[in-house]
Structure formats: C-alpha cells, structure tokens
Structure 1
Amino acid sequence: MESFSAGKIKFWNRAFFAPLILAFVMTTLLGACSVGPHYHPEHAFLPAHYHEDDARDPDFRPQELVQWWQQFHDPILDRLVSLAFDYNHDIRATAQRVLIAHALRDIEASQWYPQIDFSSLNGDLMKSTSLSNSMPHVDDLPRDPHASLLSYGFGASWQIDLFGRIRHQVDARDRAVEQAQENRHAIMLTVLAEVARNYMTLRGTQHRLDIINQHIVTAGHLYDRAIRLQQAGVGNTLHVAQTASLLHTQQSQRAALCKTISQSIHTLEILVGHIPGTLRAELITTVPLPRVPPAPRTLPVRLLRHRPDIRRAERIYAQATDDIGTEVAGMYPNIVIPLTYTPNASTVSQLFAAGAQAWQALAMTSLPLGHGGQQQARVRSAQAIAEAGRLHYHQQILTALREVEDAIVAWNGKKTHVHLLHQAALQSRLANLRSRRLYEAGISDLLNVLETEQSALRAEDTELCAHIDWLHRTVDLHVALGSGWESRI
C-alpha cells in the first residue's frame, strides 16, 4: 500500500487508518444494536366525565384555566402573580437546577465523541553515575549522563457505543432534565397558589376588620349610653359592665385581625421576592373582595396530564427504564480505540525527524466474564426500581383524581354553605337593628340588645370566613387540576 509523508515523517496508510476504518464500519453496522428495554408511555383509564381535548390541536389549553387567577377580576392579584413568577427566589432557584440537569446531560453525551488531549514535556534529565550498569559504553566511550528532553503529543480515546450503554445514559439524563423542569413547574404552581390564598386571606380579613370596626362603634355608643343612664340614676352598674365587656371583646378581636393583615402582607411580599414593607402602601387599602368565578364546566384530560407531579412521576419511571438498558449494556463488550502521537527528542531540530516519531493506534475490548453475578444483580435491581416507578406513576394518577373530585365536592359544598350563611347574616343584622330601636324606645331590655349585637357580629364574621374559605377552595380546585404554570413556559 502507498505511503504519504509529512516532511521527513512517513505513515503507512494501512497501519494508520485501519483502526479508524474498522471503528467507522462497526459503528455504522452495529450502532443501532441498543440492548435493554425502551420506554413506552403508560396509558391510564379515566372516568367518563373526563373528556379528551380537541385532537386537532394537541396544545389546546383553555385560557380560563391556564390563567385562572384572572377569573377573579382583581388587577392587584394579577400583578402579584406576575411579580411572583418573575422574582420569587424559589422559582428562580429551580431554573438553575434545570441548567444543572442540562449540563449533566451534556457531560454524558460527550462520551459519544473522541476525547482529544494535547500534552507537552520539556526539561533536563540526569542519570546516576554511581551504578555500575547505569552507563553503557559505546566504542569504549562513556555516554553523557546529562540529557535534554523535548516532547509533545496528542492523545485520543473513542468509545464505540455498540450496545447502547451511552445512549441509555444520555436518555436517562434527558429524563432527569425533564424531572427538573417538572419540579420547577410544581414550585411555580405552589407559589401561585400561596399568592392567591394569602391574597384572599388579606382581602377577607380587611373586610372582617371593617365589620368589627362598625360593631365597635355601636358597642361604644351602648357603653356611653349605659354610663349616662347610670349617672342619671336610671341605669345600673350591671349594664355598664356588660357594655364594657362587649366593647373590650370586640377591640381584642380587632387587634387579632390587624395582626393577621400585617402577616398576610409580609407573606405576599416574600412570595413576590420583595423586602417586607415595600408593598404595604399598595395592599393596606381595603378593596372589594375578589369575585368567585364559576367552577370549570368540563374536566379535560389534558389538565390531569399537565399536573407537574404526574408528569414528574412519569419521567421518573422513564428514567428508571433507561437505567435498565444501561445495566444490560454493561453485560456486553466495551470497545475503546486509543490513539496517541508523542514524538520525543533532545533538540528542536530532531523533534520532527523520522526517528523521533512515536505513535500507537489500538483497539481495546473488555468483556465481564465472572463477577459473581454482580451485573445480573444490577439488572434485577434496575428492573425492580422501574416497576416501583411504574406503580408510583399510576398511584399518582389515582391521587390526582381523588384530589380533583374532593376539590369539586368541597367547592360545591362551600357554595351552598356561603349562600345559607348570607341569609343568616341578613336576618341577624335585621334582628340587631330592631332590638336597638326597641331599646331606644324603652320597650326592650339592654340584655336583648347585647345578645343580638353579638349574634349579628358572629353571623357576619362567620359568613365572611366562609366566603374566604370558598375563595380558597376555588384556588385548591385549580391547583388540583394542575393548571397555571403553563402561562410562563
């Protein structure tokens, strides 16, 4: 076979290119021989009232569910959600974990390519002259123990993925990247829900404070009236004590509500990545309660398929399946082609001479023959992990279905509860108004006024608490459906 030369260096084509040609042919013919199982998506059967999405548009997402917080028609809530998505530190940290997972995936994928390195060596060598056989003689002339060494070289190592070990490792890392993304989606959904719940608590508590302030004014009037009647010799100390007790009780309730308002504002500020106190001027003003939107008319299958916990469980199962393939591939031959080129000389002029050249092109094959069944045990372990992942995935679907059904029942039940409490509060306010009029007319006793006053306050506060809980149940329903995070993908 012909040779080619570079300066004074000659390379024989057969010797230099044979390993490369062999590697290329083996990769081409056997590159598709990936052993081990390949992941196929699991199909779960859902109840009949979960309908399929429009097949013509696989990315179909109902806007009223993807951005469900906008159904409350509260611009301040919309702004808080936007701030949370942009500045919440937990969400931003999960974005970095996605980048970490991508980098680890690229590290595994780098095994597909030749690993090429450059090295150089230069300096002086001094051999010992104290050893009798350390200084060989040529023509009875002693050799100089001092020598200079110049060397440079390139090294390359290429691992041929004949049986898909690297392929399975990269696929497993791809699943890990997807898991990191689903973890981010889950954090986004959690932060979104916490922002909405705390905002509902804040607005509801502010309305509870307004009601208690109104009753404190009424209690103050009753207390002043009892004092005047006592001073006029018509009233007694019992009435003064009773009205004072009512006033002080309501004032203590007011202090507790003020504390809840401050804590809710601080929580919202932290959730949106702001220092406590920066949003107080905007949030401290009482605004109307958010309107409760209607429950979703339909339950698309897509919503459950987009729950981050279900998607993460499915990706864990897929990664475990790829891990089986990695362990199975470990039972087959591993082929590595190391190539090195390292000239050595004592002077720069000799470094490129033919005699200074040194290189090697090899093909190394290793095959595990006897390790006491270690690799087979690894395969069985990976299979058991994958089966556990598959069962956990199906259990996650069942849990999601239960949470959705529970959320629907809770929402409908709370709706009826709020309606009945509203009627009770109306009647309590009417009874309180009438009892005060009768008392002022001298027809009714003060005890009746105090009782109806306390009853009216309890009824109005209970109604507001139930309304806040209804708003929370609305948030829980959308969280159970897994919607909301898609607005920022």
Structure 2
Amino acid sequence: MSRRRSLAAMLAAGLLAPALAGCITVVGPDPVAPQADPGAAYDAAVPAPVGAAPEPADRRDWWTAFRDPVLDRLVTESLAGNPGLQEAASRVREAQALSRGVTAEGRPTLDLDADAGIDRTQRIGNSASSRTTGSSSSNETSGALGLGLGFGWVPDLFGGQQRAEEAAQAEVERQAWLRRDTALALVAETTRTYVSYRGTQALQALAAESLDLQVQTLTLVEGRTEAGLAPQLDLSRAQAAVASLQAALAPTEAELQRLRNALAVLAGRLPGSLDLPDGETGYAAIPVLNAGPPIGLPVDLLRRRPDLRAAEAALIATTAEIGVAEAEFYPSLSLPGSLSLNVSGLGTGSVVQTIVAALGAALNLPLYDGGLRQANLDAAQERALQALLAYRTALLAALQQVEAALLAYQGASARLAALEDEVAASETAFNQAETLYRQGLASFLDVLDAQRELTTSRRDRVVAATNVAQATMDIYEAAGLAPDLPPVGTTAETVPQG
C-alpha cells in the first residue's frame, strides 16, 4: 500500500506542474515595439532611378540593376566568403543556444542515479568455539544495487522566467538583424570599391589617351621648331607636358592593384588572388543605374533597416529584463522529489527490496536584502530607457543618412551634366587652338592651355560619373535594402526577412 501511495505522489507532482503554470501572474511591462513618426516624405527629392522605377518594391538585390555581371559575381562571393559575415552568423547561433538554455531553466529536471556494491564479511571465532567446531573463521559475501530518480521544478509563479525567455529571444532577433546589417554594409562596400576600381581604370585610360594626344602635339612642335616656325620654348613646354602626363599615369596601376586586393579581402580571399575582366576598350565602363528597385518612404525604414530593427530588439530585451528584476521581489516555490529502489542481500538468499518516494515543497519569501533587488530593478529600468534613446538616435541617424545620400546624388548628377557640356566645349576649343597654331595664328601656349583644360574636364567627368554611381549605392544602403540571407545553423530560428 505504501508503495502505491509513493508512486501516486510522484504522479501528482507531474500533474501539478501544468496546473501551476496556468496560474502564472506575469510582472513587469510587456515588451512592445517603439512608436515613431519619421514623416511622410523625404526632405530631398528622390531621383527617378531609385524612386519611380518599374521594379518590385520588395526586391533586395538592388546591385543587379546595374546590369554588371562582374559586380554580381563579386557580391555573391563576398556574401559567401566574408569572415565578418560568418562571424555574425556564429553570433546568431550563440544567441539561439543561450535562448534554449534560458528556456530549459524553467522546465522540470529529472536525474537518474545508480550505485552498486559488494560486501565481504569475515568472522573469526574464539578459542572455545574453535575447539568445539573445529573451525576458526567464516566468510560471507553479499551484493547491493540502488536506482534513484531525482525530480526538481521551480514554478514560474510571477512570470520572471517568461520575461527571461522573452529577453533571450529578443537577443536572438537582435543578432539576426545585426547579421543582416553586416551583410548590407558588406554589399555596399563591395559595390563602392568596385565602382572605384572602374573609375580608376577610366582615369588610367583617359591619362593614356591624353598622353597620346600630347605626344602628337609634341611631334607637331618638333616639326615646327626644326623648320624655324616655332621657338625652342614651345618645344620645352611640349616636352614638360608629356612628362607631366607620364607622371600622372604611373600611380594608377598601383591604385588598381590596391582596389583589387580590397575586393579580394572582402570576399574572404587572399590579396592578389582576384582577377577582374576588362571590356573591349581595355577597361569596363563605370556602372550606371537606369532603373532599380524603389527605396520607399521614410516609414519603410522602420521595418526594413537592419540597424533600426536591431535597436528595436534591444529595447524589447531590456524591457523584458525589467520583469525579470521585478519578479525577484516575489516569493518563489521549489518542488523537489525523489524515487529510489534499493536491493540488498544479493547472493545471500535473503534479498531485501526497498522503494522510497519523497515529494516536498519549499517556499522562499524575500524579506530584506539591503536594497539589492530595488537597485537591480532601477538599473534594469535605466537600461530600457537607454535602449529607447538609442533607438531614437538610430532613427534620426538613418533619416539623416538617407537625406545626405539623396543630396549627394543630386549634386553629383548636376555636376556630371554640367561637365558633359564642359567637355564638349573644351574639345571644340582644343581643336580650334590646334588649327590656329598650325596656321601660325595662335601661340603654343594657347594650345597647351586648351589641351590642359580638356584633360582636366575629362578627368572631372570621370570622377563625377564615379560619384554618381557611388551615391546611388549609398542611397540603397541608407534605405536599408539588405540582401536576403539563408538561415543559420540547423535550428528552427531564421534570419528575419521582413
């Protein structure tokens, strides 16, 4: 009968767990997403290529809109091989593991213990018995076996455990969004470096073209000097111009190698291991975006920018931690239990079996701690306030970044359009000056000045085109169009795709 009552007590403990769990009173504020009004529209004008393009609004591979297969390959390699992005994925998996651990802390525990032993007893008789029985000693060997189950559970009566799980899950979300923020920064850095590479190539080709033109002018001046139609000063100036262009051409190859190494490192490769194909003209053109996915409205930043979502998750986590600290003010209940089976006397013919079951309850009521619990609660509330202020700071910085990128694009585009006209006028002026010089109606200084202005305006046009492409990429980075990433690890948690 006693054995049946003991087993019934253990079953009652198992049934008590869900009953107590249903009576939880959750303390602390409920974690909610912050409310913010970023405005209805941007202050700066949104350019047509990134504002009203016929592309799906949820498209995130914005770099493919440049229609550059080399750029597409570089971005793909960077997303697959960058060690910084892989580290971010590892942080997500770490947060997932810690979250599972926090959840396990609130579940009942069950432990199994086992022991076995052998006892050997030797009895040595006295002299009288020895004379009577003819034996001086006796031996006895017996065995014992014990099995035990230990049960323990601390019911979450006031929701402190629930708040801890909410905080841990929010940390998982935060790390997932930080991973996407890392991916967005990686894509932006890769595209900007690639554009710089193509821009440097264009400057190199322009310098070589200007050098050829100056060499032709030098040949013309040499002929006129030999014929006595031009002074020696013109020849010296022509030679100095050629040397100047040669000096400007020399560092570009080193800069191209530096940019190639930077692209290789972004892809997780060794410097010097990356080869970039060129176009038919010896270099590929600077990428130009004619129509890409729209960047949306300011309100879209709230749900799309990874850094804002990470700041939001941090606020949710710190708010949940207030409940964890507040739950420390309330009583806690622990329910320990055990069930053990002991078998002794094995090998002696008189085996004894014993079953013992125990179920207890312990109530801990906090009375006085010198203000420790209140200090922890105050600190948790301040951390939540800091997280809220950090979110607002991140939101303002995001809006400013978008506005700055739009203004930069606007200025770079206007400058590029003006430089197109300047280059056309400079080409006309140079041709006229050279023609007049051949006819003896203009000095060589006029030709040299016209050629210098043409070279400068062409170089400025290349730089402006590079700036327009980079400003376009800055807009997409500021708008938070992070690439979609595969889930990390083998757990059920995935990176947010919203």
The reply to whether residue 261 of structure 1 matches residue 256 of structure 2 is yes
Distance (Å, rounded) in 2 between the aligned partners of 1:12 and 1:419: 90
Residue 408 of structure 2, aligned match among 403, 407, 410? 410
**Residue matched to 1:335:** 333
The residue type paired with residue 196 of structure 1 is: T
Distance (Å, rounded) in 1 between the aligned partners of 2:283 and 2:473: 21
Residue 216 of structure 1, aligned match among 211, 221, 229? 211
When normalised by structure 2's length, the TM-score is 0.83
Residue 286 of structure 2, aligned match among 263, 285, 289? 289
Structure 2 residue matching 1:322: 3-state secondary structure = helix
**Residue matched to 2:34:** 42
The reply to whether residue 319 of structure 1 matches residue 317 of structure 2 is yes
Residue 477 of structure 1, aligned match among 475, 478, 497? 475
Alignment gaps of 5+ in structure 1 = 51-60, 128-142
Structure 2 residue matching 1:66: 3-state secondary structure = coil
* Pairing of 1:89-104 with structure 2 (within 5 A): 89-104=83-98
The reply to whether residue 183 of structure 1 matches residue 178 of structure 2 is yes
Q: Is the alpha carbon distance of 1:388 and 1:356 closer, same or farther for their aligned partners in structure 2, counting shifts above 3 Å?
A: same
Q: Is the alpha carbon distance of 1:244 and 1:145 closer, same or farther for their aligned partners in structure 2, counting shifts above 3 Å?
A: farther
Distance (Å, rounded) in 1 between the aligned partners of 2:139 and 2:338: 30
Residue 112 of structure 1, aligned match among 99, 102, 106? 106
**Residue matched to 1:140:** none
Alignment gaps of 5+ in structure 2 = 43-54, 122-137, 487-496
Residue 452 of structure 2, aligned match among 451, 454, 470? 454
The reply to whether residue 203 of structure 1 matches residue 201 of structure 2 is no
Judge which range, 112-121 or 369-378, deviates more: 112-121
Q: Is the alpha carbon distance of 1:122 and 1:14 closer, same or farther for their aligned partners in structure 2, counting shifts above 3 Å?
A: closer
The residue type paired with residue 43 of structure 1 is: Q
Is the 1:336–1:363 contact (alpha carbons within 8 Å) kept by the matching residues of 2?
yes
* Pairing of 1:135-174 with structure 2 (within 5 A): 150-174=145-169
Distance (Å, rounded) in 2 between the aligned partners of 1:244 and 1:126: 111
Residue 463 of structure 2, aligned match among 462, 465, 470? 465
* Pairing of 1:383-422 with structure 2 (within 5 A): 383-422=381-420
More RCO (CA 8 Å, sep 6+): 2
Aligned pairs, how many? Answer: 458
Provide the alpha-carbon RMSD of the alignment: 3.1
Residues 103-138 of structure 1: per-residue CA shift (max 9 Å, x gap): 1100111123222222233456899xxxxxxxxxxx
Distance (Å, rounded) in 1 between the aligned partners of 2:228 and 2:348: 126
Is the 1:345–1:351 contact (alpha carbons within 8 Å) kept by the matching residues of 2?
no
Judge which range, 253-262 or 230-239, deviates more: 230-239
Residues 413-449 of structure 1: per-residue CA shift (max 9 Å, x gap): 2211111121111111221122122222332221111
- What is the CA distance between 1:11 and its match in structure 2? 4.6
Distance (Å, rounded) in 1 between the aligned partners of 2:430 and 2:348: 111
When normalised by structure 1's length, the TM-score is 0.85
Residues 87-107 of structure 1: per-residue CA shift (max 9 Å, x gap): 222222211211111111001
Distance (Å, rounded) in 1 between the aligned partners of 2:212 and 2:345: 103
The residue type paired with residue 394 of structure 1 is: R
Distance (Å, rounded) in 1 between the aligned partners of 2:347 and 2:356: 16
The residue type paired with residue 286 of structure 2 is: L
Residue 368 of structure 2, aligned match among 367, 370, 387? 370
**Residue matched to 1:80:** 74
- What is the CA distance between 1:212 and its match in structure 2? 0.9
Structure 1 residue matching 2:218: 3-state secondary structure = helix
Q: Is the alpha carbon distance of 1:283 and 1:106 closer, same or farther for their aligned partners in structure 2, counting shifts above 3 Å?
A: farther
Judge which range, 255-264 or 233-242, deviates more: 233-242
The residue type paired with residue 270 of structure 1 is: V
- What is the CA distance between 1:65 and its match in structure 2? 5.3
